[in-house]
Chain A
């Protein structure tokens, strides 16, 4: 193998699995260390800079970071990264001194943001410190988009939402609420320098089955219904409720129904439990609230009498794994159809981005799935002035994706307004490595490995929580539990850096490594090397760190897979050929990193 180029920012970035997995590339270990030091405000700001909504995401994020966490590979349970983000938000102090300075003189460029959801807000936050004039338009009476309309208060309290939305609005956004956008042409006529479309995926899917028209009054589209609950138009639901669908919206619908007075609530899903789209913890919460989830039941017909919904007929299928593709297929079990009584149906079977208000003759093209055609790097549409981000770009995703898209779109808008090339002139990613050695046996990070198991987040008393939609179910870690959980972080951003010329090949690192990560061996191609290491390196997704050739003709090979970043190799190295160096990956961003 060729020697590893550790100067390539992506090499060590990948080693920080959580940061790599996070769409916004939040430097997770950085803020976890700050939490361990009880520096909550700074921990919050590290988050705010990269993902913009730490308090909200600390409760609602899809957490792609957690399955990526190295602890999953070494001891099964990941660090509770998402809940630690919330710890930072819950316990932070005054953040005003850390906020970006806002220029008093504007730069003369005007940007229109369509939709007041997370994507638009994040774009506003990135653009305002550079002097842009930012106008925001939304049909709802308040900002937040789907964070406000689709996430129920028992998961995301209104004050948490408002605090983070207002933080951005108060940076000087000209907000136009209750503003229904009906024509993109009209918007373009307003002659802004650039437009950002962040209108989300606002159309919930429907099911056209026999009886659908007749029972229309008893069927609600999940996201619309959640929105009407959020804005106070709906206060109750009665009778027997069936929620159709297996995603997070379905979980929110069933749990909201239970709180608004439904006599019974059942979730019916056409697919198997394991492949439901809802996050595992959302499924667990629903089950914990004793809401039955019935799987492998595709709906067939809405049964009604005199215009009143009586129930639904479902078929019975079983999942079969397709040998070739590895995916699940569903085959009828042969059992008779089942009939389930109900008075109301909440339809939560998916949603789409949908922009009927964008005329199709203005040079802004859509693909065959009716999604705008975008450049995946710049988020620019085929109309050079118009950029997209969030769910309206590539379909429904989580809030964290909206933040990630927004940062890229903001860079593009900035380059566009300056007449620069959106790709050529994009700022590159960067890498900084700083040794953590303080003294002979002192490291500036807590290298000691904490064998503790993942701590459980305390919950509100169930009788209280189920009676009031405003009572937040999860209470979050307190400072003490947060500190304990923070200790579980392996500091994967403190990298093992190897300097060939200093190595005397004494084997001390090989002997001490608790995870058998290090081998000195003759070089070979990757497959060959992986098989010859001290411990088998079977996880091909994790890189091998290969040195230049050493005096004995061998190379040092380190399998990054299960390294604990305990620093023992550096600790036992007589010549400092190994050093523990903190990698800071610079993900370019306007706003805070603007120069």
Chain B
């Protein structure tokens, strides 16, 4: 997927100003809260499962552009997928962040972060929501 900076910026802007799947998370969701001391992003991600399908993903909290947009994009990508497919997508995302070969087509809009690895101080922002999703998916698959 060829993607220039202008396009990447537009994707991020879009998901930051109108985040998908953002809003309060009630008790019917399994959720995990992520906050770190070195970074000021502070978000909670919640998921609902239907057997092995990720039926819904939501997140809430405060964060910078990179945190909110990456969480929004990935929540959209994994929603409706099977747990294994979702884990695979997250794996691809991490490969991208680690500058390893990855499946560009599968990551769709998340390719907007394909140079985030160059900004060491922002990697945390671009992975905090994804880390939460990873935890929830793994807990569902393997148990706590």
Q: Do A and B come from one complex?
A: no
Residues in chain A within 8 A of chain B (CB atoms): none
